[in-house]
Amino acid sequence: MIKPSSFSLRGRKALFAIKDERDATIVRRQLERLGIDGIAWTPDEPFKIAPDVALIDDEFLPLASAANCVFPGRCPVIALLGTETPSRLKLVFELDPASFLVKPLRSAGIYAALVMAFERSERTGELKQQIVKLEQRLRSRRIVLAAVLQVMHSQALAEPAAFALIRKAAMEQRKTIEELSAEITAKGSLPRAAG
């Protein structure tokens, strides 16, 4: 599946919760120009669509429902800032915004905020996947270390020789070092084929 470009916005869906009618009109008009299906929303309503992005006015903060704090599919959020007080900014941070716009809104800047939100969301997703992979590798390294220690004790070998023996056995059996190490720790010994 090809991921959509952050710069191509046509066909996407946006929820927007904006109190000021002038600002809402500007957003609605810009979304139409960009080919985005914009749907007005009030935070008290349940979601009717799974949006690709949400534009939330800081005047609606804090959101009334805890369920509304986590948007469906973790879509990126663009915060609309009217005031820059620390307390208001703290409420905005709870949304984990991917971008922001300063009120009163103008048509200039909306496209850039949308692109930045989609790009940040994509990069954050990639980083989360990398973290998961690294955590898995870290867990597997513990298994490899346990296997090396078992082979060192059972075969009376130094650490480099024990690891080389595990690596050789993994290659012969066409397994990863991590897979073979899990077998060694489960069985308590090196498989016979490696001997």
Query: Model's pTM, two decimal places?
Result: 0.69
Span 17-57, pLDDT tens digits: 999 999 999 999 999 999 999 998 887 777 777 899 999 99
All residues at 6 or more sequence positions from 52 whose CB lies less than 8 Å from its CB, including other chains: 12, 13, 14, 75, 76, 118
Domains of the chain, each with CATH number or no CATH: 13-108 (3.40.50.2300), 130-194 (1.10.10.10)
Answer with the residue of higher pLDDT: 119 or 191. Answer: 119
Average pLDDT of the chain is 87
Instruction: Label residue 50 exposed, middle or buried (CB < 10 Å: 0-12, 13-18, 19+).
Output: exposed
**Local confidence band at 102 (pLDDT 50, 70, 90 cut-offs):** very high
In three-state secondary structure terms, 189 is coil
Q: What is the pLDDT of residue 13?
A: 93
Query: Residue 171's pLDDT is what?
Result: 94
pLDDT at 194 over 50: no
